[in-house]
A and B are shown apart, each in its own frame.
Chain A
């Protein structure tokens, strides 16, 4: 226990905990829209496109010495473009949503691989393919943490402002249109909010495991809440509590923090499902 508390005095560990809490709050809120609107595949597509953005950023940084470009900025750029493309393609009759999602998913990853192939690989150190895909929380410095905090606060503020319209849109798009909501603009906003959230969460658990944090906490919230606000609050509490537990376990067992967090969140989700089913049977 003393050892664990001692860890908390290390700035990088503090950053790791702070970044995790920020990502979990975002996932509790934005993940609720993902789950109730069945947008898990959309989230997966956007999340994996960020790999292309990270590769693009490293390429610009190493080959053209573009100093202002960072992997997070590259990921933001690619994920937002992917979100816009998805919304635009929805309006093309001949294209199915899942075709667009699958294409963006694969092409985004492929672009990342190609960009990284052409870059000066020394820039990637101490990072690596593995840390981009599966996360490395020990790479979160104070600068990155501040950016995460500011961007996340902006995402939450926009979501709060448009909470009512986003809920009407995701519950009944036809009613949203009749009520005077600009359905296309609101749909685009929702996709962009998901895109930005994916990038923030990728800092914590990596690209591959974003979907766990984006879906499981909100799914748990939806199991035990009657309304949207309850789902968001419970999902956020679930994500924060179990992620912190997962981080402590990873420090104790010396396992990768992102993967440990995801396993803990997933395992407790299964338990919650069993509890819910048992409660339903008992009336």
Chain B
């Protein structure tokens, strides 16, 4: 890993994350951009605290994730593991084709449910 040159952009900017409350005990995290080696820490920093409350349902909108790599998948698996420890609920909303392919190839889709819309997620 070479040190970042002065002209090289901060690559964590390639992912935007924001969280909206959807009422009591339910929130929506929307991630837009690239979920990869450079941005996965930023994603996990936003997602993991939401999962520590076992009564929380956390919906993660991945419809605008254009690129995901193995480090990005690792952050999703880590989130799933946190829910197993805390009892929080985690659901993915409309994962992009690229994300869906990676979840299916690895079998992660068997443990992380996906829904077409926020409203399709059962209470």
The answer to whether A binds B is no
